[in-house]
Structure 1
């Protein structure tokens, strides 16, 4: 509308596109052409905020902004540090093959006389195996029990660590004490000691080094992370498993699953079944505790738990798992019998230390041990103690079995099978020999011309010992038998005749004969020598008796036949016999053998008789019965038995002709199973008439005026008779 007044009308936007309207003037608005005014929607009033809540929300937003601002920067720095550490470790890691045998020292594998393994010393590495070649049952058992997410993580498992922390806290331990939640990769990192090599100048021992490598704790876990990541970056999963399979310690000195499988089962880790694989995997948790050689039932129970895990994770069907439980792993014959522990220790001492105890090489020793005889000796000793010794007795015993040339075939160093390095009573216990020494007195006499049929007077005797005064020996039963043959004197183990014969031939000669036969320790001075006051070891005494069996030549007991490095054909050390110089004539040895046969047939050693087999031997009991001996031989073997207490407590009711003779009998019966009976090499002496002795007052040995037989005798024989206290 055009205004006619002074003012101007309102400005209205030009509507270029108007929608047609019904009626009106066609302008789309009401009459008069003006559009209808638009109304604004009413505004809702803003809600009133609680000032306290607003304050807390503001503070939270502020704190979050600060944490986020600082946190992502710290995380970035940590990521850089971890990344750099990971890259550093990855660059330092060597080739896989350089990590498989990480031992600081070598091993010694001991073979018996037939070439079969019977013992190990040091740390055995069975040879390199790979995760691809190892039995799938062993591989699956390890994965199932140690790290079921192994193929899905990058070296660490936050879920595993969280689970371990929860278990530790629930059992009242620290968060990382006990279960550590380590992956296999982290365990390998520990085995590699996070790349720190063993240095003899920095560590007291290899054991101390490894103990530090196995330490847990938060800081150790933190250091494991980049090393584990580096391994995952550098190696494949198969490579990491290969290192694990070769370096893990699995008890009994076995490094790696190949060595453990050979040691426990006598087969390669490449061919073990589900039950054997589960038992080997069970060793990872606690090698010594779960070692099957220590407690087979405990190892089997642990293996059954792992079989259940393998079934749950799909590695075994229900039927396969049940089959494994019904047929648990069985130890090999060598592992089961545990034969030759004391023997192995003794053989190790026969080689140079740099090739045995301190070797950095893998050494093979072939020995003289006969495992059948070893089991026979062990079982015989155990049976006698179980049936003839009162329960709870602390008495000890030792047994040695050898051939006539000194080759030791069996050795028991104590009643119980003990750990390597334990006290060996067969080789280390120096004990008085008692009457077991008497054969060497008669050996000296026979070698200078005496006969077993010669006579000696068993009557009271007093000797003046310079510096000690009068000494009056007595027999064990305090009785005197008068005139007896040398054979009867030995058979009945009479002391006074033994002293007279020793003094008659000269104690120095007796001492020389005993020493030449191999009794190497200082022998007692004076006439007490004849009563076994000197000390010796069981192996020395048994070796000395072997000299009588072989015809009078000394022997050096030996167990090491051949020593060579693994993989080499040329031995570094070799020996094929222990016979040395002749000590007495063969005739004297065979006469003495005859005398010792009488000891077992009708003397103090009747409890040692072997049905249908000839045997010779001698009993021995020391003062106050602190030691009891029986040493003897057949045509095939020599055996010695000692019995006593480690602390020298006197035995109760035991003499050499009692329990030691019975142990000897049981050992020899079992040792000779399947062997034909053979006679001993002996000479039966011509009998002689006993001398006619005129009554005369007792004479001191320092004034040897003796009664005479009226017939004429050889002057040399007369002198000997005079010294022995006999008539003509």
Structure 2
């Protein structure tokens, strides 16, 4: 091997891998290189990169700011939700949030027939209601109720999409609100009613229902606070008790009682579906408003329940085939006019402005009420054109003044409407005449006393000569008082009124209950003074009961719901002081029975029944009346136009008598006829009743002539 000439060492090639190479000495070891750093993303190069540089920088900035801002918003929302949750009261405090009370009206048998104010049937919890109702509400209003935290983003997005596709603004129409959000809205987001802030409760409720972006945000946060504070079933309980469901029903317990006459824990599938369907639009879908719409909506709810697995296909088919039916009371919707009238009879702080739940027991007889409604409608349907705007009113009353039925107009289902039975002041015409005869009989006149029906002229100071006529413009000559009343002769009524004295006639009428101003002139006898149907019917009740005045009444007693002791008791309020002697009343009853037997009221006859009454028709037939009674009930009927225009071919003995007859026939249906309380008259002279069967016909004629001559002389 060759050697190096300078060193003398042989020339050899260094070994590539050797022990010395693997473990160099410390003195000769090279410094360890640093770990390579991952290179940053290379910035865009060239013109395009320079153009995109500002945008990419801005996007990065936005992303960095947004997630921090989002985190801050989430923290704020969570904090606000927790704050709201800390303010939540006990569930029981939220169940009934009405600021005013309600009135429930019971008929004479204790059955409910009408409601006023927002009804609250009492607290019922989500686990107490019928499971069908529980599921119907969830299926209809919030199918993801048990899977959200108070707000359902999917529901909101779907509602916005629907609204915009139908041309509405995002917040108009469908709201996508959860049951929790709807409950929050019912609670007005925890803001109580303050009279200093809102002019009325209506304004308060409208403000609570207002929809704005900010209010929706508050509603969402408040809803999440409710979810923190309460369980799902608690929230559903509040909703079930506070939702408005039409016809004055606040909560499902009140609605179930109102429409079906049962508790919310007893309703079946069809009834539950109809109740849940009301949540969409209570007034439109209320079965008392339109049963057809209510059934259609209920079928939609049944479909939702079936689709979500709450009921089987067989149950759904059965619910569709057998839709819910209203209770008898709800179906009848009887006594709306009567209920309004009774509400005016109690103190305002327990009726119109009550803050308590009040129960009022009344005199109403629902069977009689139905008879009156049916009679009026049947006669109008059969005898009047559909275009006719004629109106009518009917009252049925006991002899002591207790009102058993009342119809204030052709719309027998109306509430809060003008009541022609109690509010319309109209001229009674010849229906006023019994008070003239009552005054005369009380002075000792006899039903068989004679009076002249002949042309008459009376000089009225300030007006000149007055020449009244009979309705048929004919004169009968000498007639008995009974015949004069039965045929409704005007001249004898005027003569008798003048003879006994107008002031006495006015006094008798007023004491019987005609409180309206009565005419001062001789036309008083023709019923030209305005009065109301309830006054006239009450006055006739005084004749039936033997001569004592009555105060028409409908309220028996008033008590707070749940209390046994009444706060107001009207027992015995009807009968008042005596006006005429019993004998005079019984004679007058006989005379009025002749009106129906053979006079102007023959259309009022009911085979087998003794009846008494009087017709009345004013000038140009602007008013037509028939008022009369059997042994137990007085029925009053008025007919006319609201604008006081004349009717064509209508008299008191015509259509009003037919309505009266149909009403009375319904009242006495199935009952045993009872005789009227009257006395048959005997022949005699005024001031002296004579009973002498040995009198000859000639003697009787002479007595009649003496009576006539005496009358003329007086």
Query: TM-score when scaled to structure 2?
Result: 0.91
The number of equivalent residue pairs is: 679
From 577, 581, 584, the counterpart of 2:580? 584
Structure 1 residues 448 and 171: CA distance shift in structure 2, 3 A: same
Encode CA deviations 1:515-565: one digit per residue, 9 max, x unaligned.
000011111111111000011111110010000000000011111011001
Partner of 1:595: 591
Partners of 1:562 and 1:48 in 2: CA distance: 92
The answer as to 2:712 corresponding to 1:725 is yes
Matches within 5 A, 1:637-676: 637-676=633-672
Partners of 1:281 and 1:398 in 2: CA distance: 38
Partners of 2:285 and 2:628 in 1: CA distance: 42
Partners of 2:282 and 2:471 in 1: CA distance: 54
Q: For residue 402 of structure 1, give the secondary structure of its aligned residue in structure 2.
A: strand
Partners of 1:456 and 1:582 in 2: CA distance: 28
> 2:334–2:413: 8 Å Cα contact kept in structure 1?
no
Structure 1 residues 521 and 59: CA distance shift in structure 2, 3 A: same
**Bigger CA drift: 543-552 or 76-85?**
76-85
CA RMSD of aligned residues (A): 2.5
Partners of 1:166 and 1:283 in 2: CA distance: 24
The answer as to 2:216 corresponding to 1:221 is yes
Partners of 1:76 and 1:49 in 2: CA distance: 32
Partners of 1:105 and 1:562 in 2: CA distance: 21
Structure 1 residues 330 and 598: CA distance shift in structure 2, 3 A: same
From 83, 91, 94, the counterpart of 1:88? 83
The answer as to 2:357 corresponding to 1:362 is yes
CA positional deviation for 1:49? 7.2
Partner of 1:31: none
CA positional deviation for 1:468? 1.7
Partner of 1:264: 259
> 1:503–1:527: 8 Å Cα contact kept in structure 2?
yes
> 1:500–1:724: 8 Å Cα contact kept in structure 2?
no
Q: For residue 350 of structure 1, give the secondary structure of its aligned residue in structure 2.
A: coil
Encode CA deviations 1:304-339: one digit per residue, 9 max, x unaligned.
000000000000110110011111000000000001
Partner of 1:339: 334
Structure 1 residues 491 and 79: CA distance shift in structure 2, 3 A: same
Partner of 1:628: 624
Q: Which runs of 5+ in 2 are unaligned?
A: 22-40, 687-698
Partners of 1:385 and 1:419 in 2: CA distance: 17
The answer as to 2:212 corresponding to 1:210 is no
CA positional deviation for 1:275? 0.6
CA positional deviation for 1:215? 1.6
Partners of 1:369 and 1:13 in 2: CA distance: 127
CA positional deviation for 1:460? 1.1
Partner of 1:318: 313
Structure 1 residues 571 and 68: CA distance shift in structure 2, 3 A: same
> 2:595–2:612: 8 Å Cα contact kept in structure 1?
yes
Q: For residue 289 of structure 1, give the secondary structure of its aligned residue in structure 2.
A: helix
Structure 1 residues 713 and 597: CA distance shift in structure 2, 3 A: closer
Structure 1 residues 713 and 152: CA distance shift in structure 2, 3 A: same
Partners of 1:385 and 1:711 in 2: CA distance: 47
The answer as to 2:114 corresponding to 1:112 is no
> 2:101–2:117: 8 Å Cα contact kept in structure 1?
yes
Matches within 5 A, 1:62-77: 62-77=57-72
CA positional deviation for 1:208? 1.5
Partners of 2:668 and 2:410 in 1: CA distance: 22
Q: For residue 344 of structure 2, give the secondary structure of its aligned residue in structure 1.
A: helix
Structure 1 residues 724 and 624: CA distance shift in structure 2, 3 A: farther
Matches within 5 A, 1:229-268: 229-268=224-263
Partners of 2:460 and 2:534 in 1: CA distance: 32
> 1:402–1:409: 8 Å Cα contact kept in structure 2?
yes
CA positional deviation for 1:2? 6.8
From 162, 173, 196, the counterpart of 1:167? 162
Matches within 5 A, 1:499-648: 499-577=494-572, 578-648=574-644
Partners of 1:171 and 1:148 in 2: CA distance: 23
Partner of 2:37: none
Partner of 1:421: 416
Q: For residue 536 of structure 1, give the secondary structure of its aligned residue in structure 2.
A: coil
CA positional deviation for 1:356? 0.5
Encode CA deviations 1:321-371: one digit per residue, 9 max, x unaligned.
001111100000000000111110011111000000100011011111000
Structure 1 residues 59 and 464: CA distance shift in structure 2, 3 A: same
Q: For residue 103 of structure 1, give the secondary structure of its aligned residue in structure 2.
A: coil
Partner of 2:117: 122
> 2:130–2:268: 8 Å Cα contact kept in structure 1?
yes
Structure 1 residues 682 and 236: CA distance shift in structure 2, 3 A: same
> 1:96–1:239: 8 Å Cα contact kept in structure 2?
yes
**Bigger CA drift: 201-210 or 78-87?**
78-87
CA positional deviation for 1:430? 0.6
Encode CA deviations 1:274-307: one digit per residue, 9 max, x unaligned.
1101100011111101000000110010000000
Partners of 1:12 and 1:474 in 2: CA distance: 160
**Bigger CA drift: 57-66 or 467-476?**
57-66
Partners of 2:609 and 2:5 in 1: CA distance: 162
Structure 1 residues 227 and 712: CA distance shift in structure 2, 3 A: same
Query: TM-score when scaled to structure 1?
Result: 0.90
CA positional deviation for 1:92? 1.4
Partners of 1:711 and 1:494 in 2: CA distance: 22
Encode CA deviations 1:451-505: one digit per residue, 9 max, x unaligned.
1111111111111112222111111111111111111111111111111100100
> 1:504–1:723: 8 Å Cα contact kept in structure 2?
no
Partners of 2:13 and 2:263 in 1: CA distance: 105
Matches within 5 A, 1:674-685: 674-685=670-681
Structure 1 residues 12 and 590: CA distance shift in structure 2, 3 A: farther
Partner of 2:298: 303
Q: Which runs of 5+ in 1 are unaligned?
A: 20-45, 691-708
Encode CA deviations 1:237-280: one digit per residue, 9 max, x unaligned.
01000000000011111110000000000000011111101100
